A and B are shown apart, each in its own frame.
Chain A
Amino acid sequence: MNYTIHFNLVWKYVPDLLQGAVLSFQIALLAFLGGMIIGLVGASIKIFGGRVSRGIVQAYVSFFMNTPQLVQIYFFFFALPQAGLLLSPYQAVLVGMTLNAGAYLTEIQRAGFLSVHKAELEAADTLGMSLTQTIWYVIFPHICKVLFPPLSNHYIIMTLGTSMAAIFGVEELTGRAFNINAVTFRSIEVFILTAGIYVGITILASLILMFSGRWLFRIKGKVF
């Protein structure tokens, strides 16, 4: 069976796909922000908390980092209704992705916090800086600089991770691709376009993050 590629039948769907991409972006952003908050709390507990709370955080982190995000979302989508909590597909995806992100971001932030060298704190101390000054002028910039690359990297990973929302019917980029495929049957063309858009948005995101990193924190990074 031979298949001839006809892109002209699919071009008109590009705006639709791009709208889906906006939703992908939205999901990734929300999950990332939520995950950052969880990560901040989790990292703080892991560094300053007591044995029991540290254990709980470690269990959470370990569990979400060693199991697939897809299955985590399946669990929330199918199991929570049994406990009385009915989630829409979009909500289930968001909850799953946020909790998943929270685990990774806990680890990233923990490493970042621990990277502050004692030497820097001692230097600030000898210069007579107060605690607030030390935090604002020494610790905070250092941590931002250290955390920016791994956080940027994980954000890109999450953007790609939003594609599994399609399995639950969410109409983000991949979801729309499935819909268009069902209508036009030009599968190869549709998914090539979809892949192209993913490449485009990740490169765009990488560039934006790289330039922000350079401008804000003077981090030298590269996209390729």
Chain B
Amino acid sequence: MSYLNIENLHAAYGDNLVLQGIDIALEKGEIVSLIGPSGSGKSTLLRALVGLTKPHIGTVRLEGRVIDYSNKRSLREARDHFAIVFQQYNLFQNMSALKNVTIAPVKVKKREPAEVEQEAKTLLAKVGLGDKLHSYPDELSGGQQQRVAIARALAFRPNILLLDEVTSALDPELVKEVLDTVRMLALEGMTMLIVSHEMAFVREVSSKTVFMDEGKVVEIGAPRDVLDHPKTPRAKEFMAKILRH
């Protein structure tokens, strides 16, 4: 039994069957990357794990225990273990960077405010925003906002960090600073599930790559294998297209 087991997961978005039977296992400290064309269901998989899209078939097991997405308590408990960073950062517009990071640990996890604030300051300094504690989201660049979002996710003290195309909405020159932050987290042993288009980064950081297409897992293996030597025709087609430029 792995740390996280996704078994035969099916999820729909309205009438669309987006996930059609996903099987992935994640060990503690492992970094798994999800790649594939748009609409393949990568983001939906992350959203399904945290219950934003309710899966209707299949199971997700965390440390062996099944997550019941239709049960409020089970879902709350599961969400305590995950933290997700969205493509659009989703920072709270009415709060400063510091407040964004501290609000959930204090109000939801009921931790000591003084302790949380200290930790938040450390985290923000760690992602390189120690001087922007009191800046509001509309005063920060995309890359800075995304780093605050990562700090916010870390303050939640998750066991598994989910990154949903965190660099896709950024101007090219801002991508590096975010990737550096993720690289740092990888070195520290954070368990992560990363959806990304940054193939070089994926090869460098992840221990396992999953290629998804049309809601299914098409190929799974070490990054070098999937990226450089794809076996299935669809994977070959995709790699050829994206690696060309």
A–B in direct contact per CB < 8 Å: no
